[in-house]
Structure 1
Amino acid sequence: MITSMAATPHLTHSPLSNPPPLIKHAPPRLRLRLRPTRATPISTNATTTTDQFKDYHPSLEVLGGARDLFCPVIKTHLGRPYDHYPVLGANCHVETIYAAFFRNIPDVKLKRECLRTSDDGTVTLDWVSGDAKKLPDNSPILLLLPGLSGGSDDSYVRHMLVRARNKGWRVVVFNSRGCADSPVTTPQMYSGSFLGDLDEVVNHVVNRYPKANLYGAGWSMGANILVQYLGKEAGARRFSGAVSLCNPFDLVMSDEDLCKGFNKIYNRSLAKALSGILKKHLMLFEDIGGEYNIPLAANAQTLRDYDEGLTRVSFGFKSVDEYLQNSCSANYIKYAKNDPIAPDRAIPRADIKENPNCVLIVTPKGGHLGWVAGENAPQGCPWTDPMVMDFFQHLENEKAGTRQGTGNLLQSVEA
């Protein structure tokens, strides 16, 4: 699913004059979220048609206020049927598990930077090694936000990183506290509601490369955090565009679905990943007192156990439900249909239709962080990656004053 939005109806700060685009998609959903503000619809130009866009394949669902404006940019991808890879794509669980364990992981040498936050926490930024000297200071920057407990070693992150880097983009992965072996220096760890770390990362990156345009792409919980940031924080104006993939949108609904049937496997797996990070840093929580229940979090069988024992207490919520409700990115928008973690019913279709800067694209298959389809299947990049980068490159070309066609861009990537 791709959702593209330009204006979000529930901003808590003044409207941005030139808000950033965001593409958001969940395995079967890819979303393009463009301009997280109440700004007026994006103006058209000579290369973008405003005629009603109908050139998309019936296997896809395409809607949104900005459909006619931005879909022509990626019509090469939308005009083809979504053909899932035989057997693997026929079942959402098989596709999700295959992508997580068997998709190849591009070999890229990264250079790590530890960033100390204002509350003495620590996050890490992984840059492509050598790019600081190789790339011009005005090269566009793509900031990547992995999913819950994920990091720069995940295959879906590496594939997007390589594709962007091959286009001459500077790429940096934001690893949250404790993720991807990031050090933990305070009791506050991963949270779907805390935007402070992302804000400090954005300021750090922009201050380092003030001549470059900044773009963002997030997956799953990383997408949820990114969308909240774009719709809520003043720092959103720093972005020239963004993409959200596999966003659960409504964490209350996602939590409900994770407690059903086979989805319980994902629930336990995610809880185990988070509790594993916690166990590495238990000394920080010795004699912490208060409402913390560290044994519950360290031995969590579900995400709710972990959030009850640690997350909701660390960030001042009275209950897990209050924490989840306050972490829903759907609140700032006013994701494939078989995604087991990001449910189709959570997509705010009515709001996206009314939003003049939003586009939603839903694929019929894809699982969660899967999309094992297209010419790169089964072990290559997700079906969504070429489309996402063509969209980003279009935005960058417009800001740079160029008018290159997406066909030429795609050829250069494949070369």
Structure 2
Amino acid sequence: MKTTPYLRGGMVQTLYSTLGMVKRDKYSDISYERETRTMSDGGTISLDWYTPNSYKDDTRPIAVVMSGVGGSSYEYHIRCLAKSLGKGYRVVVMNHRGMGRTPLTSPKIYNAHDTGDFGDILQYIRGKHPRAKLVGVAFSLGANLLTKYLGEQGSSSLLSAGVAVCCPFDMSLTGRSLDADTFLNNQVFQPKLVATIKRFFVRNSEILQSSPTNYDWEAIMRARRMSEIDTLVTARDYGHRDCWEHYHEASSSAYVDRIQRPYLAINSMDDPVTRYEGIPQAKFRRNPHTALALLKHGGHIGFFCGLRPKIWFLTPIVEFLDGVLISEKLKSAEALPPHVSLAHFDIL
């Protein structure tokens, strides 16, 4: 497969994906059924289900999907993935607190550090569908949470397998990459991310003002970098000194060698956000449950191929998950299927 000729380079691929240049087409034209869950602290999580051809005693596996920061089930790559998986899986996209038109009903907000909500949702889905296998697919910041969850839970994980796309294994390196003085950061990433957070705070000002953190609202509204926002908000939520201490604690790199379920990470070497230098490649080589697909090109959640751009990673994700579940049926194995190994793919 070849990279879309007019989308060469990580920055171009990332821009094409980030700026929403891809809208709705035949690959993403789906409809969800929404379910809302009230968490123990009164917070709300929404679950958007895509279950084509579902029936009462459906025991097909369930793919639980998470987006990146500020994302939701409505993103193009999420809809494309849901449609691709829908042939053999029931798909549910977890929209975090306050995201994807989910009301914020408690002052606790989504972050890259806390896997509690994800674990609780998996427990709920397992209770509701006890006969179905669960697998996880997540992107960017969501991929960090998925990786941490799998490492934290080890052999107790409720997921039979996981796929992480563009996971920021080293959050400190990602933070420094976003803070770098580049055109893409200054004109695209930082303004877009910071504006998203500010709108979130304004939209949910009443509930957030009840937070025990006692946010400095004026400083938040003056902030121009995500590192400033994270120091003022997320770091304070967890008692960390600043964003850098928070990034260190939130990084999923330390959890890769603890994963005991089949796990595939897909990253690109030209990702301007999630730098490939932060990928713990040695840990992947040592852990027989993990595989790394490290591509030369793809940008951050881009991977567009063909003259008419199509997302490359959809097929590998489906094939990997299918292989794991078939292997489980044949061998009841928890390690990678024999045909899956540490892989370095190259899209030219």
The TM-score range, normalised by the shorter chain, is 0.7 to 0.9
Matches within 5 A, 1:80-229: 82-88=1-7, 90-100=8-18, 101-105=20-24, 106-128=28-50, 133-134=54-55, 136-166=57-87, 168-229=88-149
CA–CA separation in structure 2 for the residues paired with 1:145 and 1:236? 20
Cα deviation, residue 189, structure 1: 0.8
CA–CA separation in structure 2 for the residues paired with 1:173 and 1:288? 27
CA shift in 2, pair 1:352/1:272, >3 Å = same
Q: Match of 2:329?
A: 400
**Structure 1 unaligned regions, length at least 5:** 1-81, 407-415
The answer as to 2:231 corresponding to 1:308 is yes
CA–CA separation in structure 1 for the residues paired with 2:284 and 2:155? 23
**Structure 2 unaligned regions, length at least 5:** 258-266, 332-338, 340-348
**Which string of whole-angstrom CA distances, capped at 9 and with x for unpartnered residues, describes residues 259-288 of structure 1?**
111333313312221222221100113375
CA shift in 2, pair 1:300/1:112, >3 Å = farther
CA shift in 2, pair 1:316/1:342, >3 Å = same
Matches within 5 A, 1:38-57: none
**2:272 partner SS:** coil
CA shift in 2, pair 1:210/1:321, >3 Å = same
**Which string of whole-angstrom CA distances, capped at 9 and with x for unpartnered residues, describes residues 76-133 of structure 1?**
xxxxxx5211021x222211111232224322111111111112111110012676x5
CA shift in 2, pair 1:136/1:394, >3 Å = farther
The answer as to 2:222 corresponding to 1:293 is no
TM-score (norm 2): 0.85
Q: Match of 1:240?
A: 160
**Which string of whole-angstrom CA distances, capped at 9 and with x for unpartnered residues, describes residues 199-255 of structure 1?**
110001111100000000000000000000000136852111110001111110000
**1:183 partner SS:** coil
Cα deviation, residue 347, structure 1: 0.9
CA shift in 2, pair 1:238/1:184, >3 Å = same
Fraction of identical pairs, as percent? 25
**2:85 partner SS:** helix
CA–CA separation in structure 2 for the residues paired with 1:303 and 1:236? 34
CA–CA separation in structure 1 for the residues paired with 2:51 and 2:325? 23
Cα deviation, residue 351, structure 1: 1.6
The answer as to 2:308 corresponding to 1:378 is yes
Q: Match of 1:8?
A: none
Cα deviation, residue 300, structure 1: 3.5
Q: Match of 1:389?
A: 318
Paired residue type of 1:251: M
**1:274 partner SS:** helix
1:116/1:122 contact within 8 Å kept: yes
TM-score (norm 1): 0.72
Q: What RMSD, in angstroms, separates the aligned Cα atoms of the two structures?
A: 2.1
CA–CA separation in structure 2 for the residues paired with 1:311 and 1:135? 42
**Which string of whole-angstrom CA distances, capped at 9 and with x for unpartnered residues, describes residues 341-377 of structure 1?**
1001101112212222222221111111100115xx5
Cα deviation, residue 299, structure 1: 4.8
Cα deviation, residue 313, structure 1: 1.9
CA–CA separation in structure 2 for the residues paired with 1:223 and 1:289? 28
Cα deviation, residue 290, structure 1: 5.2
Q: Match of 1:58?
A: none
Number of residue equivalences: 316
2:198/2:220 contact within 8 Å kept: yes
CA shift in 2, pair 1:232/1:175, >3 Å = same
CA shift in 2, pair 1:296/1:181, >3 Å = farther
CA shift in 2, pair 1:135/1:109, >3 Å = farther
Q: Match of 2:290?
A: 358
Cα deviation, residue 175, structure 1: 0.5
**Which string of whole-angstrom CA distances, capped at 9 and with x for unpartnered residues, describes residues 164-221 of structure 1?**
002x310000011111111111221121101110011000111110000000000000
Matches within 5 A, 1:10-21: none
CA–CA separation in structure 2 for the residues paired with 1:248 and 1:329? 8
Q: Match of 1:25?
A: none
**2:92 partner SS:** strand
Q: Which structure has more RCO (C-alpha within 8 Å, separation ≥ 6)?
A: 1
Cα deviation, residue 398, structure 1: 2.5
Deviates more, 1:288-297 or 1:96-105: 288-297
CA shift in 2, pair 1:140/1:345, >3 Å = same
Paired residue type of 1:318: R
**2:172 partner SS:** helix
Paired residue type of 1:139: R
Q: Match of 2:261?
A: none
Deviates more, 1:248-257 or 1:358-367: 358-367
Runs of 4+ in structure 1 deviating by more than 4 angstroms, as ranges, are 287-291
1:371/1:383 contact within 8 Å kept: yes
Paired residue type of 2:219: L
CA shift in 2, pair 1:125/1:235, >3 Å = farther
